[in-house]
């Protein structure tokens, strides 16, 4: 699977193409099933690529906010240093006490605003990271669903070559599993977590 779409290619492609033009009803049904599964797989592959891009965008937003938080904390430290100097200057002989007292008060007020901005940026970064992790989890589910559909298509193609019905039933079972996984990915539900008593959102 790739982020550019879904494609299954191999020697069995000729067998599927031949079946589509033959009068063999069994082979014709498999060819139609394979075409349907290829379409479903293409949709799953597209969704997988979209969620991967979404996860990368969220991670980038988290990094931007993290940098903003770091800059705010550096600014906060700078104000703390200036406040300390002003407090020290207040006790020096002959110092303008009222002037430095006003500066200390101003630095304290400025520091509170900077602190709020830093904490807000940190919280936003954490939220973006959480969204990125969730999107990446969904991407893995789409990838798993797409892989299952790919395997089902390969099994169906092998059935055309061998005419083994048990292979066809296996193909149907794997395809059904893939479709269920795709539905779960679209609904943002983790089947394993759901079976264990919880769901992933």
pLDDT tens digits along 78-89 = 999 999 999 999
pLDDT tens digits along 6-62 = 454 544 455 555 555 555 788 888 889 899 999 999 999 999 999 999 999 999 999
Collapsing DSSP states into helix, strand and coil, what is residue 197? coil
Predicted local distance difference test score (pLDDT) of residue 201: 47
Predicted local distance difference test score (pLDDT) of residue 161: 86
Q: What pTM was estimated for this model as a whole? A: 0.74
Higher pLDDT, 87 or 2: 87
Contacts of 107-112 with C-beta under 8 Å, sequence gap 24+, read 107/79, 107/80, 107/82, 107/83, 108/83, 110/79, 111/76, 111/79, 111/80, 111/83
Whether the pLDDT of residue 120 is over 50: the answer is yes
- Asked whether the beta carbons of 34 and 156 are under 8 A apart, the reply is yes
């Amino acid at each position: 699977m790739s982020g550019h779409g879904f494609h299954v290619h191999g020697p069995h492609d000729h067998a599927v193409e031949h079946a589509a033009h033959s009068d063999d009803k069994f082979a014709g049904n498999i060819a139609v099933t394979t075409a349907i599964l290829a379409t479903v797989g293409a949709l799953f592959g597209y969704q997988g690529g979209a969620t991967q891009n979404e996860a990368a965008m969220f991670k980038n937003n988290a990094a931007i906010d993290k940098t903003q938080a770091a800059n705010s904390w550096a600014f906060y430290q700078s104000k703390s240093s200036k406040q300390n100097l002003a407090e020290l200057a207040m006790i020096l002989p002959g110092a303008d006490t009222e002037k430095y007292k006003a500066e200390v008060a101003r630095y304290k007020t400025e520091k509170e605003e900077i602190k709020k901005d830093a904490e807000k940026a940190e919280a936003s970064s954490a939220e973006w990271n959480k969204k990125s992790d969730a999107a990446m989890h969904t991407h893995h589910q789409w990838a798993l669903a797409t892989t299952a559909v790919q395997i089902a298509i390969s099994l169906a193609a092998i059935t055309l070559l061998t005419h083994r019905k048990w292979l066809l039933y296996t193909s149907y079972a794997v395809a059904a599993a893939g479709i269920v996984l795709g539905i779960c990915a679209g609904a943002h539900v983790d089947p394993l977590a759901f079976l264990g008593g919880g769901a992933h959102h």
